[in-house]
Structure 1
Amino acid sequence: MPSVTTSQQLCDGVLDAGSFITWDTTPVQLPMTDEYRAELVAAQEKSGVDESVVTGEGCIRGRRVAVIACEFRFLAGSIGVAAAERVVSAVERATAEKLPLLASPTSGGTRMQEGTVAFLQMVKIAAAIQMHKEAHLPYLVYLRHPTTGGVFASWGSLGHVTVAEPGALVGFLGPRVYESLHGERFPDGVQTSENLYQRGVIDGVVPMRWLRPILDRVLRVLSGTSSAPVEFDPAPALEAIPDIPAWESVLASRSPIRPGARSVLRHGATTLTPLSGTGQGESDRSMLLYLARIKGTPCVVLAQDRTLSIGADSFGPAALREARRGMRLAEELNLPLVLIIDTMGAALSKDAEERGLAGEIARCLAELVTLRCPTVSVLLGQGTGGGALAMLPADRVLCALNGWLAPLPPEGASAIVYRSTGRAADIADDQQIRSRDLVSTGIADAIIPEFPDAAQEPIAFSQRVALAIAREIRALTLIPPEKRYSMRLQRYRNFGLPRADAL
């Protein structure tokens, strides 16, 4: 186990030198026994602070941030009424001053000396943090060793981004309590930061010495403004797009050397911060979730990685739950959401059915189409079935020249219609799945060219995709939010109906 770091060590390691300014005032005075009062005095002498929480503000590379940090030497960082009041006051001040908030708990949980009243402090802390997030302000969490109990189950688990110290004990039920109640040790290796990261509960394991540059990178996205406007070329007219047969696009999209989502991010985005999992104990490697800047524009990126969507790693319910986490992030932070679609389809398995795949597709559709933030979807290559549809209904939909969208792979549709896979090319034409058809039917808004095939120009194509995304985001931000939201709902409400100009 790592040694316990102090609140002072945290501030010294993360904040610009000399920038910390305390927000702390004298703790709330409560009725208490003489024994408890003596414990508080002893804790003050041991720790050098007057409560288990230190609050204030400082700067990270010149950017103001609010800070809340537990002090474990003060009664094991436990939270009672006075400590909770200090936490809530700091959260409320950060919200009022529109500051990003960094919270770094290290705590045994609720202060037992104050009983049930202390236990209920979790409620007001959670409420204050939720109000901070509803103000579209970042809430970042760095879990230090150890973090357990009500602290982990309230403000330790509500971060937009949550990372932890290497080797830290992190869990709801303290191992000593478990052993006392059950007469046996808690299983080894469960309540560790590394295990929680692998299970998709937290986003990473970060040594203190790396925390400052990572927080700076995150804040440049979450609290950053767009760079100076870039002049974008208009989307190419449909007449200028090559008339490629649908089956040729299907084959091109399946090329093992075709650039995928990772290539687009590598060559077209900056300030990349990967996040991990659903935050609820699941992770699917086929779904990528990033905070990023695309051509200077801060955004949340959700991307399907088709190279990790085959066989045992097929796109499953956890991937869609991770997608919904990305949608919530974009909504809470008021950032544009970019969705990159490239999938052979969702998993067809007993496990996927029992873990609610159909329900997750439905929830993705419902949440995505009703998000208030700007949204751009990109059909980068294969767009098969509900796994593709779940990430499609955005304000603007782009399609690579050889991208396509279909209810099933053409071979599967051919098997249903003709009882043979041999007419896949015919069914691909009949179903109008290719990029030109998607634009003609109003499913997609513009085509991203390939010259002649993305596999032959991976870097140039990836940069072209990024420019197209940035162009659409910039255009969307010029539309009043309520009008943009109404336009999106109307678009999908009327989709498929005869258009007035066609009557």
Structure 2
Amino acid sequence: MTNRAGARGLLDRVVTDWRSWDEAPIEVAAPGSPYAAELAAARARSGCDEAVITGEGLLRGRRVACVVSEFGFLAGSIGLATAERIVAAVERATAGGLPLLAAPSSGGTRMQEGTAAFAQMARITAAVARHRAAGLPYLVYLRHPTTGGVFASWGSLGHLTAAEPGALIGFLGPRVYQGLYGEPFPEGVQVAENLAAKGLVDAVVGVDDLAGVAARALDVICDPPAFQEPAPAPPVEAPASAWDSIERSRRADRPGVRELLRHGATQVTPLSGTGQGEADPGLLLALARFGSASCVVVGQDRRSQRTGHPLGPAGLRVARRGMGLAAELGLPLVTVVDTPGAVLSAEAEEGGLAGEIARCLADLLTLAAPTVCLLLGEGTGGAALALLPSDRVLCARHGWLSPLPPEGASVIVHRTPDRAAEMAAAQGVGAADLLRGGIVDELVDERPDAADEPAEFCTRAAAAVERAVRAVIDHPGNRWHRYSALGPR
């Protein structure tokens, strides 16, 4: 753990035109007391007057507020004066409508001040919650080390959370654990890279890359560019055979959500997991921009699902995190449906798969954000339905939606999978039937197959998404009415 940047070193590498907001810290130690001597020594050693530095600067030209810990000042611990400074900075950022970048590095509560300092974590959390409730971005960069009450309060509330490579991050400090239990804490658990793999942080980012990652995310969240009307899409001829579409949609080389973002989007910031200890490779979450449309993307990654990571309840909880981000940040939500079906296992049942499907449906139907769904390919079962209800639904020419794989439906009805093509036609799963039934609103052309023209198709699909997002922003729909009206006419 060498060459770690202190507070001022980090600010020098991340922002320009720094302006401090700090005032002299309030007095917390009796003159002449041992604690007063500790504070004086900490000031002399660290060059800082408290364990945080606050202020504002320009991050790639954007004005942002910052709260940055100085670990060299009594291990970055939070006392009454520290909390006073943090809360004042968060409230000033909220009042000024500024994005806030927090970069903690702390052992937690300042033991010299006891419970009074410990309770300040709730006060800091309240200030951060008000900032988020105002629709303002709160970005967190966890540095080595971040533990205790800091990690359990303002260090874990980011809309986006990155961590320093190799950083020790955990609730209980390893030295305290060993002192209490007489054995070392298991290695490799409280490490940034492990937390990223477990879906607790979004990315592991070096200090010199932090400005670029944060700026890209803030470009999507804060600065939607001026809208330019894309050329209208030409009419799309629906395929004659649903079974032909099903077979095409299952091609291994068919482009999925990752290709859609690569060829059709800009300013892509991938996010990881639920932020609560779960991740699912079958579900992709990102901030992105389609043309002039900034949005949160929740997409099913069919390639990952077909190579050992079928979509489970954790993936749907990741999707619900994306829905919450869209509502809180005031961004449109784009869902991408492309799934051979949810995982079938005892673990999925015990993990609440059915309940997560229901909660996704309920969240989408009540979400306080414009929503667009792109049915990109396979649309099998409850996993597909969970991301479908939207203000506007687009469908690739060979996309389809079915309660079961047609082979499964054939087994139920005909006791054999061999009549799957017949079942697909009878059930109306193909794009033509979906369009006719009002389940989808527009088809995205494939010429003749997305797998044969991946870049061109993804560019076309991205333009359709941009048009749809703009349409639902300008003319918000009523999802309740839309889905209440589905049925016989």
In which range does the TM-score fall when normalised by the shorter chain?
A: over 0.9
1:169-197 CA-to-partner distances (Å, cap 9, x unmatched) read: 11000001000100011111111111111
CA distance in 2, matches of 1:31, 1:40: 8
Query: Relative to structure 2, which stretch is displaced further, 400-409 or 251-260?
Result: 251-260
Counterpart contact for 2:312–2:343, Cα < 8 Å: yes
Instruction: In structure 1, give the amino acid aligned to 2:181.
Output: H
Instruction: In structure 2, give the amino acid aligned to 1:249.
Output: S
**Which residue of structure 2 lines up, in the alignment, with residue 224 of structure 1?**
223
Counterpart contact for 2:239–2:245, Cα < 8 Å: no
CA distance in 1, matches of 2:239, 2:290: 30
CA distance in 1, matches of 2:327, 2:29: 43
Instruction: In structure 1, give the amino acid aligned to 2:14.
Output: V
**Which residue of structure 1 lines up, in the alignment, with residue 482 of structure 2?**
491
* Structure 2: gaps spanning 5 or more residues: none
CA distance in 2, matches of 1:450, 1:194: 40
Deviation at 1:3, TM superposition (A): 4.3
* Structure 1: gaps spanning 5 or more residues: none
**Which residue of structure 2 lines up, in the alignment, with residue 457 of structure 1?**
453
**Which residue of structure 1 lines up, in the alignment, with residue 211 of structure 2?**
212
Does residue 273 (structure 1) correspond to residue 273 (structure 2)? The answer is: no
Query: Cα–Cα, structure 1 residues 494 and 31, in superposed 2: closer, same or farther, change >3 Å?
Result: farther
Query: Cα–Cα, structure 1 residues 31 and 9, in superposed 2: closer, same or farther, change >3 Å?
Result: closer
Counterpart contact for 1:4–1:72, Cα < 8 Å: no
1:266-292 CA-to-partner distances (Å, cap 9, x unmatched) read: 110011111111111111111111111
CA distance in 2, matches of 1:78, 1:379: 49
**Which residue of structure 1 lines up, in the alignment, with residue 24 of structure 2?**
26
Deviation at 1:235, TM superposition (A): 4.8
1:24-68 CA-to-partner distances (Å, cap 9, x unmatched) read: 112223464722222212211211111111100000121100000
Taking structure 2 as the reference length, the TM-score comes to 0.97
**Which residue of structure 2 lines up, in the alignment, with residue 12 of structure 1?**
12
Identify the match of residue 422 of structure 2 among 426, 429, 446: 426
CA distance in 2, matches of 1:257, 1:310: 12
Query: Relative to structure 2, which stretch is displaced further, 451-460 or 52-61?
Result: 451-460
1:68-125 CA-to-partner distances (Å, cap 9, x unmatched) read: 0011111110001111111111111111111110000000001111111111111111
CA distance in 1, matches of 2:204, 2:261: 22
Q: Which aligned pairs between 1:177-326 and structure 2 lie closer than 5 A?
A: 177-226=176-225, 228-237=226-235, 240-310=236-306, 312-326=308-322
Q: Which aligned pairs between 1:147-186 and structure 2 lie closer than 5 A?
A: 147-186=146-185
Matched-pair identity in %: 57
Instruction: In structure 2, give the amino acid aligned to 1:379.
Output: L
SS in 1 for 2:97: coil
Does residue 413 (structure 1) correspond to residue 409 (structure 2)? The answer is: yes
**Which residue of structure 2 lines up, in the alignment, with residue 404 of structure 1?**
400
1:394-413 CA-to-partner distances (Å, cap 9, x unmatched) read: 11111111100011000001
Query: Relative to structure 2, which stretch is displaced further, 278-287 or 342-351?
Result: 278-287
Query: Relative to structure 2, which stretch is displaced further, 173-182 or 117-126?
Result: 117-126
Deviation at 1:375, TM superposition (A): 0.8
SS in 1 for 2:144: coil
Deviation at 1:243, TM superposition (A): 4.1
Query: Cα–Cα, structure 1 residues 383 and 315, in superposed 2: closer, same or farther, change >3 Å?
Result: same
Query: Relative to structure 2, which stretch is displaced further, 152-161 or 22-31?
Result: 22-31
Instruction: In structure 2, give the amino acid aligned to 1:74.
Output: F
CA distance in 2, matches of 1:257, 1:187: 42
Counterpart contact for 2:29–2:35, Cα < 8 Å: no
Instruction: In structure 2, give the amino acid aligned to 1:488.
Output: R
Structure 1 outlier segments of 4+, above 6 Å: none
SS in 1 for 2:420: helix
CA distance in 2, matches of 1:388, 1:271: 26
Deviation at 1:220, TM superposition (A): 1.2
CA distance in 2, matches of 1:419, 1:440: 30
Q: Which aligned pairs between 1:376-395 and structure 2 lie closer than 5 A?
A: 376-395=372-391
Instruction: In structure 2, give the amino acid aligned to 1:28.
Output: I
1:445-497 CA-to-partner distances (Å, cap 9, x unmatched) read: 11111112212221111111000000011111213xxxx26x1121122322x
Counterpart contact for 2:273–2:280, Cα < 8 Å: yes
Deviation at 1:333, TM superposition (A): 0.9
Deviation at 1:440, TM superposition (A): 1.1
Q: Which aligned pairs between 1:76-91 and structure 2 lie closer than 5 A?
A: 76-91=75-90
CA distance in 2, matches of 1:363, 1:2: 45
Deviation at 1:341, TM superposition (A): 0.8
Identify the match of residue 471 of structure 1 among 467, 473, 487: 467
Counterpart contact for 2:239–2:397, Cα < 8 Å: no
CA distance in 1, matches of 2:414, 2:381: 19
Counterpart contact for 2:326–2:369, Cα < 8 Å: yes
SS in 2 for 1:321: helix
Counterpart contact for 1:2–1:145, Cα < 8 Å: no
CA distance in 1, matches of 2:210, 2:239: 51
Identify the match of residue 349 of structure 2 among 338, 347, 353: 353
**Which residue of structure 2 lines up, in the alignment, with residue 375 of structure 1?**
371
Query: Cα–Cα, structure 1 residues 457 and 4, in superposed 2: closer, same or farther, change >3 Å?
Result: closer
CA distance in 2, matches of 1:307, 1:416: 27
SS in 2 for 1:86: helix
SS in 1 for 2:259: helix
Counterpart contact for 1:235–1:446, Cα < 8 Å: no
SS in 1 for 2:106: coil
Counterpart contact for 2:54–2:67, Cα < 8 Å: yes
**Which residue of structure 1 lines up, in the alignment, with residue 330 of structure 2?**
334
